[in-house]
Amino acid sequence: MWIRLACILYLVLVLPSYGRAASPDDSLLAYSVGVNGGAGVYLGKGLVLSVAHVVGGGIVNKPKVIIAGRSLTATLVKESPFEQLDLALLEINEEGLPVSLRLRRIPLCQGQPWPGEEVVSLSAQGPVRSRVLSPKALPAAVKRFSTVIRDVATTGNSGSGVFDAQRRCLLGIMSRKISQVRTQKDSGVKTTTDTAKYFVPASTIAEFMPAELRLTPESYPPIQFSYRQ
């Protein structure tokens, strides 16, 4: 009986930890960092990309970046207010980072996102797959935010990276949630429905970044992925 019980415990507790390959999406987690309690993306070479409303006026208050288990004070390189691009570029001293992280680079995707494109969003729970929505799915008042993804509740929040699931490049960075208010005709009760999440696209990020710091696929070698058997 004890042998049988031991076998059952082995099957339930031990076997599940073997033979599970790491998802390719997990490799993108190395680029996810914390910024002032929010999120950001580590681009490489000590550069961290986030959104302005998360950084919160980095010129006055030095932003805090959590990366590789370390809390570092960042310097604001460039910022565009929430009402404009909602982008912020930070710089940290990378000398204290692990060598494996210092060698990493994430390029910006080339071209525009297209409806149906599969993406990976880095949420607090890990990488989440989603898809780009057509601007036609948006309320008329917010169609200017044309680069959006669905799966509002499960994907990453402001400052989280949005990556192309196939090319493994940075497609954009999450900026805001888009909601739609509907009023019931009979009762006048208003309900708010989350429609999509807007991300600042890579093309806008490239224009925002100083020319000498722009990242393109040609700038860096391909990302190497490792898998556990």
Q: What is the CATH number of the domain that holds 98?
A: 2.40.10.10
Residue 156 sits in which domain range?
Answer: 118-204
In a domain, 31, yes or no: yes
Span 36-43, mean pLDDT?
A: 92
Q: How many domains does the chain have?
A: 2
In a domain, 171, yes or no: yes
Mean pLDDT of the chain: 80
In a domain, 227, yes or no: no
135 vs 188, higher pLDDT: 135
In a domain, 10, yes or no: no
Report the share of the chain in percent with pLDDT over 70: 81
In a domain, 221, yes or no: no
pLDDT band at residue 145 under the 50/70/90 scheme? confident
Looking at the fold, whether 95 and 163 belong to one and the same domain comes out as no
Looking at the fold, whether 199 and 123 belong to one and the same domain comes out as yes
Q: Which range (7-16, 45-54, 89-98, 207-216) has the least confidence?
A: 7-16
Looking at the fold, whether 48 and 88 belong to one and the same domain comes out as yes
Looking at the fold, whether 68 and 134 belong to one and the same domain comes out as no
pLDDT at 191: 74
Distance, C-alpha 148 to centroid of its chain: 13
Span 92-106, mean pLDDT?
A: 88
Its pTM stands at 0.78
Span 79-107, mean pLDDT?
A: 89
Span 61-81, mean pLDDT?
A: 90
